[in-house]
Chain A
Amino acid sequence: MHWQVILPLLLFLVIIFGIGIWTNMRVRQSDSFLSDYFLGGREMGGFLLAMTMMATYGSASSFIGGPGVAYNTGLGWVLLAMAQLPAGYFVLMILGKKFAIISRKYEAITLIDFLKARYQSNAIVLLSAVAIIIFLFAAMTAQWVGGARLIESLTGLNYRGALIIFAVAVLVYVIIGGFAAVALTDALQGTVMVIGTIVLLVAVVIEGGGVSAIFADLVAEDPNFISPYGVDGNLTPLYVSTFWILIGIGVIGLPQIAVRAMSYKDAKGMHRAILIGTIGIATVMFGMHLIGVFGRAVMPGIEIGDKVMPTLTLEILPPIVAGIVLAAPMAAIMSTVNALLILVSSTVVKDVYLNFIKPNAPDAEIKRMSFIVTTVVGIAVVLFALNPPEFLIWVNLFAFGGLESAFLWSVVLGLYWKKANKYGAFASMATGLVLYIYIDRFHQHVFGMHTVTIPVVASLLIFIVVSLATQKYTKHQQVF
Chain B
Amino acid sequence: MDPRFKIAHREALIGIVLVVINFAMWYGFAYGLGQGDPTDYTYVFGFPAWFFYSCIAGTIFMVALIWMVMKFFFTEVSLEVEDDDECTGK
Q: Which A residues have a C-beta under 8 Å from some C-beta of B?
A: 75, 78-79, 82-83, 85-86, 89-90, 93-94, 96-98, 100-101, 104-105, 210-212, 215, 219, 223-229, 237, 241, 244, 248-249, 266-268, 271-272, 274-275, 278-279, 282, 286, 416, 478, 480
Q: Which B residues have a C-beta under 8 Å from some C-beta of A?
A: 1-2, 4-5, 7-9, 11-12, 14-16, 18-19, 22-23, 26-27, 30-31, 34, 37-39, 41, 43, 45-48, 50-51, 54-56, 58-59, 62-63, 66-67, 70, 74-81, 87-90
Q: Is the CB of A228 within 8 A of B34?
A: yes
Q: In chain A, what residue has the closest Cβ to B32?
A: A228
A275 to B45, CA, bound (A): 26
- Set of chain B residues within 8 Å of A223, measured between Cβ atoms: 37-39
- Quick one: which of B19, B37, B58 contacts A90, CB cutoff 8 A? B19
- Set of chain A residues within 8 Å of B75, measured between Cβ atoms: 267
- Set of chain A residues within 8 Å of B2, measured between Cβ atoms: 101, 480
A129 to B54, CA, bound (A): 39
Q: Is the CB of B18 within 8 A of A89?
A: yes
Q: Is the CB of A244 within 8 A of B23?
A: yes
Interface centre among A97, A215, A272, A480 (most CB of B within 10 A): A97
A104 to B80, CA, bound (A): 7
Q: Name the distance in Å between A241's Cβ and chain B's nearest Cβ.
A: 7
Q: Name the distance in Å between B27's Cβ and chain A's nearest Cβ.
A: 7
Q: Name the distance in Å between A80's Cβ and chain B's nearest Cβ.
A: 10
A210 to B19, CA, bound (A): 33
- Set of chain A residues within 8 Å of B5, measured between Cβ atoms: 98, 101, 480
Q: Is the CB of A267 within 8 A of B76?
A: yes
Q: Is the CB of B79 within 8 A of A97?
A: yes
Q: A75-B48, A85-B59, A416-B12 are in contact. Are A212 and B87 (CB under 8 A)?
A: no
A220 to B79, CA, bound (A): 57
Q: Is the CB of B34 within 8 A of A227?
A: yes
Q: Name the distance in Å between B5's Cβ and chain A's nearest Cβ.
A: 6
A14 to B19, CA, bound (A): 40
- Quick one: which of A105, A215, A227 contacts B47, CB cutoff 8 A? A215
A227 to B37, CA, bound (A): 8
Q: A237-B27, A416-B9 are in contact. Are A94 and B15 (CB under 8 A)?
A: yes
Q: Is the CB of B31 within 8 A of A237?
A: yes
A177 to B50, CA, bound (A): 46
Q: A96-B15, A275-B63 are in contact. Are A85 and B51 (CB under 8 A)?
A: no
Q: Name the distance in Å between A36's Cβ and chain B's nearest Cβ.
A: 18
- Quick one: which of B34, B43, B56, B88 contacts A215, CB cutoff 8 A? B43
Q: Is the CB of B26 within 8 A of A83?
A: yes
Additional A-B contact list (10), CB under 8 Å, known A101-B2, A228-B31 = A82-B58, A96-B8, A215-B43, A237-B31, A241-B23, A266-B78, A267-B76, A271-B74, A272-B70, A282-B62
- Quick one: which of B11, B26, B66, B80 contacts A278, CB cutoff 8 A? B66
A224 to B74, CA, bound (A): 43
- Set of chain A residues within 8 Å of B4, measured between Cβ atoms: 97-98, 101
Q: Is the CB of A101 within 8 A of B8?
A: yes
- Set of chain B residues within 8 Å of A212, measured between Cβ atoms: 43, 46
Q: Name the distance in Å between B4's Cβ and chain A's nearest Cβ.
A: 6
Q: A96-B8, A227-B34, A267-B79 are in contact. Are A274 and B66 (CB under 8 A)?
A: yes
Q: Is the CB of B87 within 8 A of A105?
A: yes
Q: Name the distance in Å between A323's Cβ and chain B's nearest Cβ.
A: 29
Q: Is the CB of B46 within 8 A of A215?
A: yes
- Set of chain B residues within 8 Å of A241, measured between Cβ atoms: 23, 27
Interface centre among A90, A93, A244 (most CB of B within 10 A): A93
